Amino acid sequence: MPIPMAVCELLSVGTELILGDILNTNTRFLSQALAALGIAVQRHGTVGDNPERLAEDLRAALVRSRIVILTGGLGPTADDITKEVVCAVLGIPLVLDARQMAAIERFFRVRGAPMGETNRKQALVPEGCTVLYNDNGTAPGCWIPWKGNVVVLLPGPPREMEPMFREKVVPLLRPFSSGVIVSHQLRTVGLGESLMAERAGELLDGENPTVAPYAKDGESYLRITAAAPDETQAEALCAPVIGQLAERLRGYVYGIDQLLEEAAVKALRQAGKTVALAESCTGGGISTLLTEVPGASEVFGWGVVSYANECKQALLGVREETLRLWGAVSEPCAKEMAEGIRAASGADFGLAVTGIAGPGSSNTDKSAGLIWLAIAGQNGVRVRQLSTGRNDRRYNRTIAAKQALALLLEELQKKATPSNGGSV
Amino acid sequence: MPIPMAVCELLSVGTELILGDILNTNTRFLSQALAALGIAVQRHGTVGDNPERLAEDLRAALVRSRIVILTGGLGPTADDITKEVVCAVLGIPLVLDARQMAAIERFFRVRGAPMGETNRKQALVPEGCTVLYNDNGTAPGCWIPWKGNVVVLLPGPPREMEPMFREKVVPLLRPFSSGVIVSHQLRTVGLGESLMAERAGELLDGENPTVAPYAKDGESYLRITAAAPDETQAEALCAPVIGQLAERLRGYVYGIDQLLEEAAVKALRQAGKTVALAESCTGGGISTLLTEVPGASEVFGWGVVSYANECKQALLGVREETLRLWGAVSEPCAKEMAEGIRAASGADFGLAVTGIAGPGSSNTDKSAGLIWLAIAGQNGVRVRQLSTGRNDRRYNRTIAAKQALALLLEELQKKATPSNGGSV
């Protein structure tokens, strides 16, 4: 990176993390947010609710990093020790913050609940710090300048930590940022990570922007990251590289910085079209993805989860002989499902999926990972077969849902159509 | 804990972790697995693909911990440095492992792909180590005894790391375990974390087993953890405490060590009953949860995602005047949805949900977080209203799905019924 950056490290505090009871999502959130600010995170550390180990690790961090951000251990109970240990290490006394005390008293008064003596502890803050008042809980955060360094204390629950960081810490961190980092994702579907990387070619070797390939559950994307003194310059570095990559990956790129379901809802809305769903092996997974997008109701109104053959017949009009002759996991069944839900709903598109998610299989001639997709529109119905080759229920369901949305997007974008069939 | 335990720490290696590009799930998996073995994890650390910082942190870890487990950085490319740095720190040379070399050559031969010179690197292992052959990739793990300590290298991708740890590392770790830790979750629904903790009372103060309360998205649970020389003794310590807790939480406990959807599928199967779903605001979320459980097709065959009013009328038989007079988010509509899907499907139970997930609301008199649930059975239909008080789409959808499954379980278990209505 061409810009010198302030060095930062993250220290998470909590026995529940050390025991693996909860997943640490805070370090990921903070790492991404700090990178965007042009602040280099070099280490993540986690310790339990143990004063000696926390003090030892904090001392080590202060020696090597200009910014140390601690999360967790700010609660009201005896095992919440972060503030006390930090003050002991820095040699700063804890003092009562009147505004925070009033906020805690109000919190309990509003709820008509008695306030415990332990809650008083949450109104104590390191002397001379900037108090980061918590809009989503009773634990305040603290911004503590110390000998040219800064120590930041944030609450552990992501619902409290994330807005506090965004709204109150980011403005304070700006002076430590000697530039900005801008990052975009060029998202593709239908192409594996290695083929995507191959097509990207020597663009993967760039230094500013850097281009890195990633893959997860049937989607592959390239992350394009540029560093510059300001956002305009960083964007200007990214733009031509994104353009070249999009050209090389033509037919597989479905969007920039957006999820497949967001792209689908957006494309439907722009085209003024609606979709209805008939799902078998995905069990409502496509519906769930689409309706996670606010405003999905404008483009999606009807879904049927037809796990049972009787449901396929009654609600989707799949014919008995189709099921008898070809089975529920077959091209004819997928077609009839798509046509059936389109006819019942009056939607512009009927999208259907039927497959074998696994584990195991009750069909002797069909194996887990076999999936049929179909999309019915005004010009007829188009099908696609997938074979994931895996006996992994979660994976197969995810792939089927993603590929179904990709098929819908293709139809909407009238993209060059890869040949029917093919494995994932 | 009454048993002295070998001290362990985890070191994750990878710039993608430090940048927040991926979430670190390995530390959680390993922490849980090590706790179960009676090995105390005291620290998690993460560094990027940087030889100096990795070497520094490894040296610090070796001084204080008997077992150091590193994940990541075993790939074939130049930025994969873990093996090289570990060998340099420990003063052990890298040597070619013939079996691993043959496995890599076979890997490429089978795929008909040319083998790059860089892949040769993956056949190099620290001299004298126990090679942990990788059944799911080309990077071998290593078990390296060193001056009474042990350093374990594992690949970063969870799909490779987790089976390698379970199958190859756990047997080697047994001698370091001076006992076992057994942990159970007593899972409840319909009771907040604080009320649950209040009822658990002084049982939360126990030392062996320990009892700790947790809450996530509308479910609360107690974790009961006992340490003992063997599993039988650890289970014997847990059993009476679990019994007492279940008694104090009667009416709210739905299972031990199982998710709500697993409990629902199991209870339906045991009762020989089926359920059909009519979902509005959850958008297929209940369907998706149920069908994540293998074998769900035995108890679930029909689902309708009725986002549009026309769909509620056509597929569920909701009456036009109900929608006109009371709206889609109303007690009468929820009732008719539940009765309608039960009648259409012939299932024993019809379960319905309609509500306002947010953000915002098109209804002036109804706000985000208002949810109506209904369950129809042979004895009629029962409804429940929820008010989450939050304008948070994801949260409201999750709460609605969980509470719908809880309502189904209540009906199946014929539990003492809490009064209709109430907030979450």
For chain A, say whether B210 makes contact (Cβ under 8 Å): no
**Range name among A131-140, A146-155, A323-332 with the lowest pLDDT average:** A131-140
Report whether CATH 3.30.1600.10 matches the domain A260-413: no
The answer to whether the CB atoms of B32 and A20 lie below 8 A apart is yes
**Which of A32, A44, A302 is the closest to B308 by Cβ?**
A302
pLDDT over 50 at A419, yes or no: no
| Residue with more model confidence, B55 or B193 | B55
The predicted-structure confidence for B127-173, as pLDDT tens digits, reads as follows 999 999 998 888 999 999 999 999 999 999 998 999 999 999 999 99
Interface of A with B in 283-322 (CB under 8 A): 283-288, 290-292, 294, 296-297, 300-308, 310-311, 314-315
pLDDT in tens, B86-103: 999 999 999 999 999 998
Asked if the model's pLDDT at residue B70 lies above 80, the reply is yes
CATH code linked to domain B180-256:
3.30.70.2860
Give me the pLDDT at residue B38, please.
Answer: 82
pLDDT one-digit tens code per residue, A147-159:
999 999 999 999 8
Is the CB of B176 inside 8 Å of chain A's CB atoms? no
What ipTM was reported for this prediction? 0.77
- Cβ-nearest to B287 among A18, A283, A300: A283
Contacts of B348 in chain A (CB under 8 A): none
Segment holding B125, helix H or strand E: strand B124-126
Q: Chain B partners of A307 at a C-beta cutoff of 8 Å?
A: 291, 296-297, 300-303
The per-residue pLDDT for B65 is 94
3-state secondary structure of A258: coil
Query: Which residues in B lie closer than 8 A to residue A20 (C-beta atoms)?
Result: 27-33, 35, 41
- Encode pLDDT of A38-73 as tens digits: 888 999 999 999 999 999 999 999 999 999 999 999
Query: pLDDT band for position B347 (50/70/90)?
Result: very high
> What would the pLDDT profile of A352-369 be if each residue is shown by its tens digit?
999 999 886 555 567 888
pLDDT of residue A415: 42
Compute the average pLDDT of residues B31-35: 91
Query: A415 Cβ partners below 8 Å, 6+ apart?
Result: A251, A409
Tokens found for residue B384: 């429940």
The ranges assigned to domains in chain A are 7-176, 180-256, 260-413
Q: Is the CB of residue B21 less than 8 Å away from at least one CB of chain A? A: yes
Percentage of chain B lying above the pLDDT 90 cut = 66
Nearest to A267 by CA among A84, A74, A406: A406
Average pLDDT over residues B377-392: 90
Strand ranges (E), B217-336: 219-228, 253-256, 275-279, 300-306
Quick one: three-class SS letters along A263-284? Answer: HHHHHHHHHCCCEEEEECCCCC
> Of A20, A302, A305, which is closest to B31 when you measure between CB atoms?
A20
According to the model, what pLDDT value does residue A363 have?
Answer: 53
Q: How far is CA B22 from the centre of its chain?
A: 17
A7-176 and A180-256 share one CATH topology? no
Is the pLDDT reported for residue B75 higher than 50?
A: yes
Summarised one tens digit per residue, pLDDT across range B295-323 is: 999 999 999 999 999 999 999 999 999 99
Cβ partners under 8 Å of residue A49, min gap 6: A13, A14, A15, A73, A79, A80, A81
B77 or A97: which carries more pLDDT confidence? A97
- Predicted confidence at residue A251, as pLDDT, reads 84
> What pLDDT is stored for residue B115 in this prediction?
74
> What distance in Å separates the CA atoms of residue B251 and residue B220, rounded to the nearest whole number?
13
Please provide the CATH number assigned to the domain covering B7-176: 3.40.980.10
Of A176-190, A325-339, B399-413, the poorest mean pLDDT is in A176-190
CB within 8 Å: B292 and A394: yes
pLDDT score for B120: 83
Provide the shortest C-alpha distance from residue B131 to chain A (in Å). Answer: 27
Q: Which of B151, B84, B95 is nearest to B123 (CA)?
A: B95
Digit-coded pLDDT (tens) for A212-268: 887 776 678 898 989 888 889 999 999 999 999 999 999 889 999 999 999 999 999
